[in-house]
Every structure is written in C-alpha cells, then in structure tokens.
Structure 1
Amino acid sequence: MQQYFIKGLPLTTRLIIEDKETIKHMFSVMRLTTNDKVTLVFDDGIKRLAQVTNRETYELEILEELAENVELPVDVTIASGFPKGDKLEWIAQKTTELGASSIWSFPADWSVVKWDAKKLAKKKEKLEKIVTGAGEQSKRNRLPEVQLFASQSDFLAQFSRFDKVLIAYEESAKAGEKSQLAKTLSTLKKGEKLLFIFGPEGGLSSAEIKTFEKEGAITLGLGPRILRTETAPLYVLSAISYALELDEG
C-alpha cells in the first residue's frame, strides 16, 4: 500500500491534501482514484489508513490508526564530513531506509567541496526530497531531520545532545581496534541518542579527532576493511539493526 507523509496533525477524519508535490504523486503519477486506500503518516509518527473520497478535490477520509512502528529503538544521527559529488544524496537515501533519525553533514578539514549558505540551502532542500521518497518507500514512521552545518564549531556545539558520540576512524581500523562498536551495541538502551561521525573521502584529520575527543567522542574501527565514506554509515546502521532488532540470542 502506498504511504505518504503529511505535515501537521489530523484535526478531523476528513482531510484535503494541499501539498502540490504530494498531490502530483498521488493523483497524477500513482493515479489514485475514489475509494483507493493509502497510508498517511503525520508529524506524530502514527500511521493512519485513509481512503480517497473525492479524487477531484484531493479529499480523503481517515479510517483508523495503524499500530505499525518500524523505527529503530535508539535514535541514530549520521554525521558525514562534506563529501564530493552526489555521495551525500546516496547517504541520505540509504541511511533513511536503514533507520537513521537524523542526517547531518559538516565541513571537515579534508572536505574538498566548499558550500556557501546559498548552496547549503539548495542542497538541504534536495536532500529533504530524497529523504521523503526513501521514507515513504521504506515505510518509516518518521522522516529523518536533515541539517547541514556551515561551520565545524556549530557542529561541535551539538555534541551535548547525545548520550554517546562515536567516530568511525580509519586509523583505529588499521590499528586493529575491533571491540568498541560491539561493546557499544551490547550496552545500548532503548531511547538512547547516538551520534556517529564519518569523515569525507580523505578521512578525518588528527586535529579533528583530538577536538572531537575533547568533547567526549570515542573513536572506533569498523572491521579490518577500510570502507568508503558512503559505505561506513550503512555498515553502522545495519549492525545496530541486527543487534537490536534481529538478534534474539
């Protein structure tokens, strides 16, 4: 069944779709017609079954709340140093599918790209569209927050919001560090807020690592193989899902 994210909260069981992009997708692309049913997700994260009552006026009726909740039991924020090309779009799409609660990016010391305020705003708008599509496809209850930081100091100021701040660090992997991620996963509690930091193509500088560690961050390796900047977040989210959602042992 098709799913759509609707801004706001339902005040009555009667609803008229007003967002132009949603209208286009529902009634032009997917060709919904009267009596067709869809799943709607509002800002409260609750899924609701709805039925089209008038396709000409984009009107639907909410039939019932659905109990389905597919969110990870912990909040995971993925923070990537500004990568080249369209890698951030890839990261946003795939980490949304894998359950990230927030997708951040920041200007790392070795980031090749430099985005001014205008480019950041345009990039954020594009990423939010990608996240919406990925969230609908993967049947999420909530869309990840997208935030692009203009400065590293703005990014650092957010560390205090999290229970744990962890850095995927290439040098830790090279040194054979292989227990910190497993230790972290084994001690996670429902509702904890985690920040995972990933470097851009060139990795994170030693100066950045020292700065992050002063703010309480912990470095860790992601196994013996060195992962690309767009691959590492997927590894982490998959490991978290396995540890908290699939492993019954």
Structure 2
Amino acid sequence: MSRTQAGHKRRQSEDLRALPRVVVEGFLPGEPAELPQAELDKLRKVLRLSTGDPLLIVPGDGTVVRCRLEGRRVVPMETLHPQTEPALKVTLAQALPKGDRIETIVRTCTEIGVAKFWFFPAARSVVRWDPGKREHKLRRLVVIAREAVEQCFRTQVPTIEFLEGLSEVLEREPGAVVLSESEGLATGLREATAPKRGSGVTLVVGPEGGWTQSELAKIGPRGVTLGPRVLRTDTAGPAAAAILLLGGE
C-alpha cells in the first residue's frame, strides 16, 4: 500500500469514527428503513440529530452502513467494512461477581474486544441468579454490550450466556485456560494460550473468594497465572483480555 493510499484509509477511518453510531441488528442496507422507536429517540433526543444528518448503522455482521436520517427513516448510502474486530476470538467465562461489577466487566471487555461472555455461579459466588430473572439480567447485559459496541467502534455485538457452573464451562470448552491464584503456578497466560491462537481462547475467571479445592481439582493443568499479584475478579478478566487482544494489535 502506498503512503497516499494509507493516508486516505486513515482519514476515512477517522471520518467514520466521528459519526454517531447506533446498533440495529439485522439492518438491511438495500433501501430506506424505519428505525425502532427506541433507536430513533436516541438519535433525536440524546445525540441531537436532525433530518439530513449522517450516521452509521451497525447491523452486527462486521459491517457499518453510512446513512442519512430522513424523518423516522434512515437512507443507506454506503456499506463499509472497517477492520475493528480482533482476529483472535476470546470468550470470557466469568464467575458471578457481587454488585454491579458484572456490568463493568461486560462494558470494559466489550471495548477491549471479547467476542463471547459466559457467566456462571462458582462454589464461592455470593451472588446467585434466580432462574426466573435470568433472561431479564441477560437482556440488560446485552444492552450494555450494545452501548459499548457503539462507543468503541466495533462492528459485532458479543453474545452473552448463563451456564450452570464451572463443570459446564469446562465441558463446553475443555481447552479453556483458568486464571488461578494458587501458589506454585509457573505457567503464564501468554505461554498457555500460544498454541490456541488459531482456534480462539476461553478465559475462566473465578469469584471474589477464589476457587475451592474441589474446583481446583477440576481445573487441573488448565490453571495459569497473571503474575505475583492477586487481582480482583472484576480486574482479572479485563486484564487478561487486554494482554491477549490489545497486545497483538
């Protein structure tokens, strides 16, 4: 690529980043479309857009669609393919944390580039999700992930699931790496994940109280360390994701 081409590509990216963005999953760029009321209210009342103003629609498929706002509708102008999604697909399996830390984890890790979230109760998790309220909680977390996607200029919204426990996490992904504070661990995160870079990496983070002996037995040789300091549960996941995702970009 010539210096002129690189400069044009950089300016185009900067221009796109300056435009308001809104996620409308499944949006079809072929013809004008009426926006859902919630998204229209956001554009009009929060972002203060008026008829004729440009914006970007994020369909969630790896593209963005440059559009123009016309009344209640958006008129597609151009479909673009900004390369903002990480090549490495990282899944964060996080033991349920206390309070609103789960929202911070989703927001921060979405910005960093995590592709999937699995939340599960560990043996020492203080928080337990009522089965009747799980779907509501997951929907709330999806909203937070969508907002983070809009803010950080990603083009795909992470998926978010609830799993029943550590056993289900390890059954679903036997090759997962598990962050552990156990003494004597010598295997670091980069070393443990190097062979998995082509197929994706699943990171497992425990609760505030750490893993029980029974859970450590299940974890076995999957345990890895981030170093000599013990991180909080809401720090460990973002830190590990950043090491894997931001370090290689």
The TM-score range, normalised by the shorter chain, is 0.7 to 0.9
Residues 38-77 of structure 1 mapped to structure 2, 5 A cutoff: 38-52=55-69, 54-55=70-71, 58-77=72-91
Question: What SS does the corresponding residue of 1:60 show, helix, strand or coil?
Answer: strand
CA distance in 2: counterparts of 1:236 and 1:65, whole angstroms: 33
- Among 166, 177, 198, the alignment partner of 2:177 is 166
| TM-score, normalising length: structure 1 | 0.86
1:66 deviates by 1.7
- Following TM superposition, where does structure 1 have runs of at least 4 consecutive aligned residues deviating by more than 3 angstroms? 150-157, 184-190
Could you list the per-position Cα deviations for residues 16-54 of structure 1 after superposition, in whole angstroms to 9, with x for gaps in the alignment? Answer: 112x321221122112111111111113221111111x2
User: Is residue 19 of structure 2 the alignment partner of residue 10 of structure 1?
Assistant: no
Residue-pair matches, total: 231
User: Is 1:117–1:150's contact at 8 Å kept on the other side of the alignment?
Assistant: no
Which residue does 1:193 correspond to in 2?
200
User: Is residue 130 of structure 2 the alignment partner of residue 126 of structure 1?
Assistant: no
Residues 1-249 of structure 1 mapped to structure 2, 5 A cutoff: 1-10=19-28, 12-18=30-36, 20-52=37-69, 54-55=70-71, 58-159=72-173, 164-171=175-182, 174-175=183-184, 177=186, 179-190=187-198, 192-213=199-220, 218-245=222-249
Structure 2, unaligned runs of 5 or more = 1-18
1:186 deviates by 4.3
Structure 1, unaligned runs of 5 or more = none
| TM-score, normalising length: structure 2 | 0.86
| Structure 1 residues 35 and 45: CA distance shift in structure 2, 3 A | same
User: Is 2:146–2:157's contact at 8 Å kept on the other side of the alignment?
Assistant: yes
User: Is 1:96–1:144's contact at 8 Å kept on the other side of the alignment?
Assistant: yes
User: Is 1:73–1:244's contact at 8 Å kept on the other side of the alignment?
Assistant: no
Could you list the per-position Cα deviations for residues 48-79 of structure 1 after superposition, in whole angstroms to 9, with x for gaps in the alignment? Answer: 11111x22xx2111111223121111110111
Structure with bigger helix share is 2
Question: What SS does the corresponding residue of 1:243 show, helix, strand or coil?
Answer: coil
Which residue does 2:8 correspond to in 1?
none
User: Is 1:186–1:243's contact at 8 Å kept on the other side of the alignment?
Assistant: no
Question: What SS does the corresponding residue of 1:38 show, helix, strand or coil?
Answer: strand
CA distance in 2: counterparts of 1:132 and 1:96, whole angstroms: 9
Which residue identity does 2:105 align to in structure 1?
I
